[in-house]
Structure 1
């Protein structure tokens, strides 16, 4: 499944570069995680029963690979993606792997926490001023026992602050870092 996802990403990015348009049509960027490493982290969390619930959300789901891996492990997975054109890519990916994983277009930042993403960084990729995806999923940020994110360098602290503001007590945040590390945190 990971190899299929990586091939889809490569084909998609190659077609976007070949057509002269940037990712999402707006010149943005997409950097995939090391999905095998992320799977190892997800599996460790699942097998040890560390998450308080099996509800999982991928913040910035891209092609939906991490949400698919979580579903394959047994989590009730979903994803929220800011780039509209990636949502059908993720839906197609999970459908072809016979997984039931819903994806929503929108920001993972609920309106109540948008102030935490007010940064003076022109490279910030956080979705501010965009409706969040929770209504479309019929869920709230505090419904999830485990949230996964791959923040851009320099945005890790903001993602952690948003998690602390909106996640349920005891929920876990698993982040993949540009240093190729996985960081697991629990909300106190």
Structure 2
């Protein structure tokens, strides 16, 4: 896996008033969603620290560690990170498969006039899968991809054109999500991975684009 760890400084500029308002309203609606019993099918999760996510994205942009301006959040939920990226000037996409969360995150963005795109899409592109192993989840690459005849796609969004991915996986999914990033990203892309311990790490994709199986 040709990923390079990037150094992050999380002591940068504080979030703007607009970003604080986005975070506060998203958290308020999220809490209401669960307190009112509206998310019975969807396990309540401990959200990432949005101020830390903001600091990480801000640092990557401020220090020119991003090759471009396209952001994608895997499993966007209420799209807090997606909105932060948008308000920091990125073209921001969120991937979500739960209809209730798709509707609510889109409504939140419309109400606060934050330009994001929420796609009804799994983080695993067509043909990819995951398996449960002793050490946690493992990524299964599609045979067609390995043969070079399929190109990963997220409902029209080409993951190869994403400059910054963000994900907050369950602990047993961390390695799998890094493998997924390695499989679908292209040279110069960055993965921002938030960990359950409240830490955030950044990884740079260093493989040559010629190494992508679907380009053969």
Q: Partners of 1:22 and 1:44 in 2: how far apart?
A: 37
- Check the 8 A contact 2:34/2:44 in 1, yes or no: no
Task: Work out which of the residue numbers 130, 146, 149 in structure 1 matches 2:167.
Answer: 149
Q: Which has the higher contact order (CA 8 A, sep 6+)?
A: 2
Q: Deviations over 1:119-161 (max 9, x none)?
A: 248x97x9xxxxx9712xx211111000000000111000000
Instruction: Name structure 1 gaps, 5 residues minimum.
Output: 127-131
Q: Which has the larger radius of gyration?
A: 2
2:93 corresponds to: 78
What does residue range 26-105 of structure 1 map to in structure 2 within 5 Å? 28-105=43-120
Partner of 1:8: 29
Q: What residue number does 1:107 align with? A: 122
Structure 2 segments unaligned to the other structure (5+ residues): 1-21, 140-151, 207-216
Which of 171, 183, 186 is the matching residue for 2:189?
A: 171
Q: CA deviation at 1:186?
A: 0.6
How big is the shift at 1:112? Answer: 4.1
TM-score for the superposition, normalised by structure 1: 0.84
Superposition CA RMSD, Å: 2.1
- Measure how far apart 1:111 and its partner are: 2.3
Quote the offset at 1:29 in angstroms: 3.5
- 1:129 corresponding residue in structure 2: none
Distance 2:153 2:44 in 1: 21
Deviations along 1:75-132, one digit per CA (max 9) or x if unpaired, are 1001001222100111011112212211012211112432xx22248x97x9xxxxx9
- Give the TM-score normalised by structure 2: 0.73
Structure 2 residue matching 1:102: 3-state secondary structure: strand
Q: Number of residue pairs matched?
A: 171
Runs ≥4 residues deviating over 3 A:
none
State yes or no: 1:134 paired with 2:154. yes
